[in-house]
Chain A
Amino acid sequence: MKKKVIATLLSLTLLFATSSPVSASEITAAGAGTTPVDLTVETQILRVTIPLSLPITMTEDGEVMVADNASITNHGAGPIKITDIEIKGANGWSTVDYNSLDNASATVGGKNVGFSLNLAATNILTTGANTDNFSSGAIVITKGQSLPLTYDAVLPAQKDEMVGVQVAEVIFTIGWND
């Protein structure tokens, strides 16, 4: 009798020792289980490289020349969108309609500038004082994309030499493409 009791205890010990510990909550039906998929999103960082200067040179002959390497680059976690572009005059200069200012006849020394930008085949032109024709949310820059930014300006010939005088500022408003 004593041997039977010991044998039974040993059998039970062996049974519990070899069983896998399964939580009752993970079983929904005989032989089935669920595995939760938990998402942790770390703070998403919008990383962008933007030009802080769009320089213009007017030559001795009144020809306007601009840089050809400006771009906006998205290094962030996902696509971004330019939701607004504002072009404003600065330091006593006024923006005017890009298509109306004629360098050949404009009064010499006038502080007016017409400005145009081209991003992803979207052409943005100044249309008057601090106004332009940009329509909101039109330009998306995908993750890793570098979007070339070309620009041009028209302005009257100037009598006085200038070096690095800011005549306008371009303000980009950027956000996620959500």
Chain B
Amino acid sequence: MTNQKEKREKVLFAGLAILALLLAGFLAYLLFGIKGADSTSLPVDDDKINFIAGDTTEGDIRKKEEAEIVATLNQAVDENEAALAFSTSLTFADGQAEGKFIFANGKNNKYAQMLEIRTIDTDQLIYSCGVKAGHKIESCKLLVDLPKGVYDCIMYLYTVDPATNDRIGTSKARMVVTILA
């Protein structure tokens, strides 16, 4: 009888001991386990990770301020404006004669202008010339001997980067070419 009582007490004690251990483990998890999930608290063995000197700096990715970006964009607009001046009415004594045509590519412009004048009706190329920044045209001869008449035309202004010869933009202007005889 006594043995059975002692046995029961031992089982109870063992059960209480297991519960105490579980409780202690749970408390330890609460205290240290969650904190341990934080990578900054992980033990880092510097000898095993190759921290490349110069490749890393402390801090988060730097975002440019909106004002900083817009200022850069505005500067690009300022630097790439084109001041152009040209006559829109060209008169020639005949299709082979030289006539007055004024075109100026402003001296402060960054790019050259490649001009092409084409008739609207037939898209015929009747004049073409490249003009560097700071240069001008004061007279020209047409590429083709147009018969007497009045021709509605479009002047295509192709903006060209003189360093690469790449075409970087296009503008157009309406003009009238008159051949008197």
Contact = CB atoms under 8 A, between A and B. Distances in A.
A83 B179 CA distance: 25
Interface string B69-85: 11011101111111111
Interface stretch (A11-19, A20-28, A43-51, A102-110): A43-51
Contacts of A166: 168
Interface in A28-60: 43-57, 59-60
A65 interface: yes
A16 B85 CA distance: 56
Interface of B is mostly: strand
A51 to B, nearest CB: 6
Interface of A is mostly: strand
Interface stretch (B3-11, B48-56, B60-68): B60-68
B89 A43 contact: yes
A54 B171 contact: no
B174 A65 contact: no
B22 to A, nearest CB: 48
A49 B172 contact: no
A50 B74 contact: no
A59 B69 contact: yes
B159 A68 contact: no
A55 B73 contact: yes
Contacts of A44: 87-89
Contact of B172 (A53, A59, A66, A84): A84
Contact of A47 (B79, B84, B159): B84
B78 A69 contact: yes
A46 B175 CA distance: 11
A126 B102 CA distance: 34
A70 to B, nearest CB: 5
A50 B168 contact: no
Interface residues of A, number: 36
Interface string B91-128: 00000000010100000001100000000000000000
Contacts of B89: 43-44
Contact of A67 (B74, B86, B174): B74
B77 A55 contact: yes
A134 to B, nearest CB: 13
A49 B86 contact: no
A169 interface: yes
B174 A45 contact: no
A103 B144 CA distance: 50
Contact of A50 (B66, B69, B171): B171
Interface of A: 43-57, 59-61, 65-70, 75-76, 83-84, 166, 169, 171-176
Q: What 8 A-B pairs come out closest when comparing CB atoms?
A: A175-B174, A53-B80, A67-B73, A173-B172, A52-B80, A47-B85, A55-B76, A69-B74
Given A44-B88, A50-B81, A60-B63, 6 more contacts: A52-B81, A53-B80, A67-B77, A69-B74, A69-B77, A173-B173
